[in-house]
Amino acid sequence: MTDPFAGPTTPRVGFSGSPLDRADAMRKDEGAMIMARSNRAARWLILDDLRPVLPEGGGLMWLERDAVPADATTVFLGLDDGAPRFAVAAPGGHLGPLGDPRAFGAELAASPNPGDAAIFAQARSLLDWHARHKFCANCASPTRVFKAGYERLCDVCGAHHFPRTDPVVIMLAILDIPELGQPHALVGRQPRFPKRFFSALAGFVEPGETLEEAVARELFEEAGIGVARVRYIASQPWPFPSNLMVGAFAKATTRELNLDDDEIEEAKWVTKGEVRAALDGVGPWLAPPPLAIAHTLLRTWVDE
């Protein structure tokens, strides 16, 4: 019998690998959550306007309960070897300098404890969602935090609102070009990108379409190329504000590019050697950093 899991293993991506037990059953039990908040081993992660406090020595700054404002929005993250962990939206500048979230995430992902980046992503996405959804979409009444931060409840009409994650496909189109003797991949740059920076193409999944259809649609809309097959590679939480990046390879069927100038300023077909040089920082163009799943797609392609 063929092993259905005998293919390549899923590569590790940034903002993944959280060590926390999310303890879903505890979220539903208010008594258990009261005990968790009173636990002497409980700790809180403060985000000030969604920015982290930078402790000396790096990593996440975990605080005891008395350092956290009682009326601040708090969400339960999970259990760290049985010890409760929370995140809170509160002022933190008095505790130390505030960091840039993307740079902080990259630092955590490259640290000896890369799972801390996943904890940060969970905390930032949840707190950002609560800040944006204080009123009921059904009746416009104020809502309140419910189920330890994984819902908001409207006490007027009874509607339950849940944190949303927006799926985004990010894809590396690959084309065999016989006259050039080797396969090429498509990279592009948006007008807002730094100079010389190229990445995989990406776009939001729209209602009523599969991930595979979204890959094909986005590549056609942004670059004018056709797609025959789509191969899933990996996914990544992206907490800016709360996306799920779904990484894929796409087998291109056409070579000529027809760019959407509003979305793509420049695009080009590149070889594995050119991608390898960019990943190593010695090429004429710049590749995405290791934190981004676009880096994972490029690295996976050149290593296969």
* Domain residue limits, the chain: 1-132, 133-163, 166-303
Task: Classify 293 as helix, strand or coil.
Answer: helix
- Helix/strand number for the chain, H first, E second: 7, 14
pTM equals: 0.94
The set of residues, in sequence order, having a beta carbon less than 8 Å from that of 11 and lying 6+ positions away, is: 233, 234, 296, 299, 300
CATH number of the structural domain 166-303: 3.90.79.10
What kind of fold does domain 1-132 have according to CATH?
Nucleoside Triphosphate Pyrophosphohydrolase (3.90.79)
Query: Is 2 a residue whose pLDDT tops 90?
Result: no
CB-based contact 183:228 (threshold 8 Å) = no
Q: In this predicted model, what pLDDT tens digit does every residue of 234-280 receive, in sequence order? A: 999 999 999 999 999 999 999 999 999 999 999 999 999 999 999 99
Fold match between domain 1-132 and domain 166-303: yes
Query: Is 12 a residue whose pLDDT tops 90?
Result: no
Query: Is 1 a residue whose pLDDT tops 70?
Result: no
Q: In the structure encoding, which two tokens stand for residue 227, read together?
A: 């797609």
Other beta carbons within 10 Å of 183: 16
Q: What pLDDT is attached to residue 132?
A: 95
Say how far apart CA 192 and CA 209 lie, in whole Å. Answer: 28
Among 41-45, 178-182, 225-229, 282-286, whose mean pLDDT is lowest?
A: 178-182
Q: What is the residue-wise DSSP string for 76-145?
A: EEEEETTEEEEEEE---GGGSPBPPHHHHHHHHHTSS-THHHHHHHHHHHHHHHHHH--B-TTT--B-EE
Which percentage of the chain shows pLDDT scores above 70? 99
Q: In this predicted model, what pLDDT tens digit does every residue of 76-112 receive, in sequence order? A: 999 999 999 999 999 999 999 999 999 999 999 999 9
Say how far apart CA 88 and CA 303 lie, in whole Å. Answer: 41
Say how far apart CA 168 and CA 177 lie, in whole Å. Answer: 28
